[in-house]
Amino acid sequence: MIKRCEWANSNALMQQYHDKEWGSPEHNDQMLFEFLILESMQAGLSWNTILQKRENFRKAFDNFDYNKILLYDEEKIEKLLQNKGIIRNRLKIQSIITNAKVFIKIQKEFGSFDKYIWNFVNQKTIHNAWKSLDELPSHTTLSDKISKDLKKRGFKFVGSMIVYAFMQAVGLVNDHIINCFRFKEIRNSN
């Protein structure tokens, strides 16, 4: 029997996400933007809800193409607010447009968003060694620091808890519990 982090056992979609994505070091700017947006959309909701709507988000937001999103106007926002397949929160939708613009500024400054965000962990995953889910923090000093920097640059919906969830998702931190098969896979990959 495969040992997973307990949160992943609720359904097949969560298992697939856990087994193939969560905690894997991500360096593709397009995927980093997607995760940042999905994490911000998740605020106040369950991650399962976001995963269930992920394909709808991809279709609605031009596959998270930040170069297209930054051009969204009020007409596009209104169309998105009518889309029952996504989270229809005006502030969150507007923040995606704002965040696309800031994301591109960071790319220009650092060469890529990847270089910017991975610099916070010296280009290496932080491997924690949690024995149970109860030990996982909701935020850390580092997520506080990243959140503060993102906000200073103009990002919206990037509080420390959202940033920490993003860090977990894209492998900045390995928060798989130690008896989970993914813990060793990720640890041995870098």
**Cα–Cα dist 44/47, whole Å:** 10
Strand 173-174 to strand 126-127: parallel, antiparallel, or no bridges (unpaired)?
parallel
3-state secondary structure of 127: strand
- Per the annotation, the verdict on 66 as an active-site residue is no
Q: How far apart are CA 142 and CA 139, in angstroms?
A: 8
**Three-class DSSP category at 26:** coil
Task: Report the amino acid identity of residue 69.
Answer: I
Residue 82 falls in which region: left (phi positive, over 0), alpha (psi -120 to 50) or beta: alpha
Active-site residue, 47 included = yes
22 is catalytic: no
Beta strands in 8-146 (DSSP E): 126-127
Beta bridge partners, 127, equal: 174
Cβ contacts of residue 62 below 8 Å, gap of 6+?
A: 68, 69
The answer to whether the beta carbons of residues 15 and 4 sit under 8 Å apart is yes
Q: How many CB atoms lie within 10 A of CB 126?
A: 15
Catalytic residue among 22, 26, 34, 39: 39
Q: Which residues are catalytic?
A: 17, 39, 47
